[in-house]
Amino acid sequence: MSFAPSTARVMPNNVMNTPIPSPQGASGDTTINVNGIPSGANATAGPGIRRRDRQGSFGGSSRAKVLRPFNTANIKILLLENVNETAVGALRAQGYQVETHAKALAEDVLMEKIKDVHCVGIRSKTKLTKKILDAAEKLGVIGCFCIGTNQVDLEHATSKGIAVFNSPFSNSRSVAELVIAEIVLLSRQLGDRNNEMHQGIWSKVSANCYEIRGKTLGIIGYGHIGSQLSVLAESMGMRVIFHDVAPLMPLGTSKQVHSLNELLEKSDFVTLHVPETEDTMNMIGENELSRMKQGSFLINASRGTVVVIPALAKALKSGHLGGAAVDVFPKEPAANGKFFESELIGCPNTLLTPHIGGSTEEAQSMIGVEVSQALIKFINNGTSIGAVNLPEVDLRAIRDEENSIRLCYTHSNVPGVLLRITNILAEHNVDKQFSDSKGKIAYLMADISDVTPEQIQDIYRRVRETPTNIVTRILY
């Protein structure tokens, strides 16, 4: 797969279901404006579609055509929260306009900035609420350069046909390694000893300090991170049990237990690796903490809302828990250097970290590559593989010949749509077509050959006018 930038290419397209930036056809290009009408100095009465420069291939075939939404230089991308250079470079190499910010933006600034962009890239801090999404007039795709997507109003994004991509496992190993370190640190009270030494206090203690060998680790949420952690913990001699809503294959000699309570009662260390959902909100409160063994430890590197912080502080101060490591908080400061407050500050044997579970060079670099590639494939080819909120649809490469187009149609999932589209395409040569649905939304891709600019314009207009239309794009 090559992501080499193409020569300017302008598409009849509402890539983000909104007005298209005005064409900037390179010299010699025949360009097609938003309405599909050939325009620009070199517009001719001819087909209006230039054979692409053979700069790369799609789908591994030398006869494959590189598709573009329209002049890629008109695509505007906003990257927030210090998204990795690997992503910035890959997106710029496409010719897109990329604006980067090291921090999350305040709501009013984001509302203004997001108005004009086709794609936004965020991490866990930026909240893309209904209000923000409604301000985003041209937005067609969101890249979450992290695992969690709870910071995006997914339902609203979906209703607007905005695709959302994330990186499902590129930082899993980093989180699992952090948790292994924390298990050892907590078990040996290293946080407290370190603090004392920095204050000039020599306090050599062995009481209540343990090896982790032979101890039981209870993992809540046995997904990418939980299962990776399971393998690492067993290799250090721990026994592993886990609780998950889904029945899952236990790795190594780990065992799935029947209930959350069983896990809490049997574990020396309890670690949370669930997503933020309605079900996991306040999952560990006073009742659950009281079920944990006397002197056991709690680790949370999932989401801050999963643990009731005042209850945890109480359990630590009373000595019921032997310690805790917390990486995520219900309210996190917006940026580095901002004030952090929590009832956990000063609790005994309590490790507090600023949401750094996935913050390693390796993870950030891999995430940058993975998410930027998903964004490029969606913008340039219409591919929704890996989208968390759209049905996953792809077609093999379009043939590299003149006058062939790809129709990408995001629509409401109601009866009768395919018949309507079939009628619109009836007199054309549909090379291939695929469609799938997910809940209230469906996505169709169709490659059509031998179409004139007038026919493209007609297809585009008629598809857009269907009552079920959410987003219609045509790619060349």
Ligand X SMILES: O=C(O)[C@H](O)COP(=O)(O)O
Ligand Y SMILES: NC(=O)c1ccc[n+]([C@@H]2O[C@H](COP(=O)([O-])OP(=O)(O)OC[C@H]3O[C@@H](n4cnc5c(N)ncnc54)[C@H](O)[C@@H]3O)[C@@H](O)[C@H]2O)c1
Cβ contacts of 248 within 8 Å, gap of 6 or more: 222, 227, 242, 256
Token couple for 281: 């909100």
Site string for ligand Y, 337-356 (x = CB under 6 A): ------------------x-
81 binds ligand Y (CB under 6 A): no
Alpha helices in 4-93 (DSSP H): 85-93
In terms of CB distance, is 188 or 355 closer to ligand X? 355
353's contact among ligand X, ligand Y, none, with CB below 5 to 8 A by partner kind, is: none
In terms of CB distance, is 361 or 427 closer to ligand X? 361
What are 406's strand-pairing partners?
447, 475
For every residue of 82-100, DSSP letters joined together read: T--HHHHHHHHHTT-EEEE
CB of 328 to ligand X, least distance (A): 7
Find the binder of ligand X among 8, 43, 147, 366 (CB under 6 A).
Answer: 147
446 binds ligand X (CB under 6 A): no
For the chain, give the number of residues. 476
226 binds ligand Y (CB under 6 A): yes
User: Are 9 and 56 a contacting pair, CB within 8 Å?
Assistant: no
CB of 211 to ligand X, least distance (A): 30
- Phi/psi of residue 296, nearest 5 degrees: -80, 175
Find the binder of ligand X among 97, 359, 365, 435 (CB under 6 A).
Answer: 359
Find the binder of ligand X among 68, 113, 123, 193 (CB under 6 A).
Answer: 123
Site string for ligand X, 296-335 (x = CB under 6 A): ----------------------------------------
In terms of CB distance, is 118 or 224 closer to ligand Y? 224
Find the binder of ligand X among 171, 373, 457, 472 (CB under 6 A).
Answer: 171
Q: Given the structure tokens 């989401």, which residue do they identify? A: 303
Torsion of CA 190, 193, 194, 196, to 10 degrees: 160
3 state DSSP class of 425? helix
In terms of CB distance, is 297 or 460 closer to ligand Y? 297
Describe the crossing of helices 85-93 and 361-381 by its angle, rounded to 10 degrees. 20
123's contact among ligand Y, ligand X, none, with CB below 5 to 8 A by partner kind, is: ligand X
279 binds ligand Y (CB under 6 A): yes
In terms of CB distance, is 227 or 381 closer to ligand X? 227
Interacting stretch for ligand Y, rule CB under 6 A, among 97-105, 198-206, 269-277, 407-415?
A: 269-277
User: Are 411 and 437 a contacting pair, CB within 8 Å?
Assistant: no
Q: Which long-range contacts (CB under 8 A, 24 or more apart) does 274-277 make?
A: 274/220, 274/221, 274/302, 274/303, 274/306, 275/148, 275/150, 275/221, 275/302, 275/303, 276/148, 276/150, 276/302, 276/303, 276/305, 276/306, 277/150
In terms of CB distance, is 43 or 283 closer to ligand Y? 283
Find the binder of ligand Y among 275, 285, 304, 330 (CB under 6 A).
Answer: 275
- How many residues line the site for ligand X (CB under 6 A)? 11
What is the C-alpha to C-alpha distance for residues 112 and 128, in angstroms, rounded to an integer? 13
In terms of CB distance, is 39 or 124 closer to ligand Y? 124
Token couple for 271: 């670690």
Catalytic annotation, residues: 303, 332, 355
222's contact among ligand Y, ligand X, none, with CB below 5 to 8 A by partner kind, is: ligand Y
Bridge-based pairing state of the strands 405-412 and 469-475: antiparallel
308 binds ligand Y (CB under 6 A): no
Find the binder of ligand X among 355, 377, 406, 428 (CB under 6 A).
Answer: 355
Token couple for 22: 């005005």
In terms of CB distance, is 274 or 351 closer to ligand Y? 274
Restricted to residues 174-213, the positions that interact with ligand Y (CB under 6 A) are 175
For every residue of 163-229, DSSP letters joined together read: EEE--SSTTHHHHHHHHHHHHHHHHTTHHHHHHHHHTT------TT----TTPEEEEE--SHHHHHH
Query: 3-state DSSP: the chain helix, strand, coil percent, rounded to 5?
Result: 30, 20, 50
CB of 276 to ligand X, least distance (A): 9
Footprint of ligand Y (CB under 6 A): 147-148, 169, 171-172, 175, 220-226, 243-246, 273-277, 279-280, 301-303, 327-328, 355, 357-358
Q: Give the footprint of ligand X on this chain (CB under 6 A).
A: 123-125, 146-148, 171, 355, 357-359
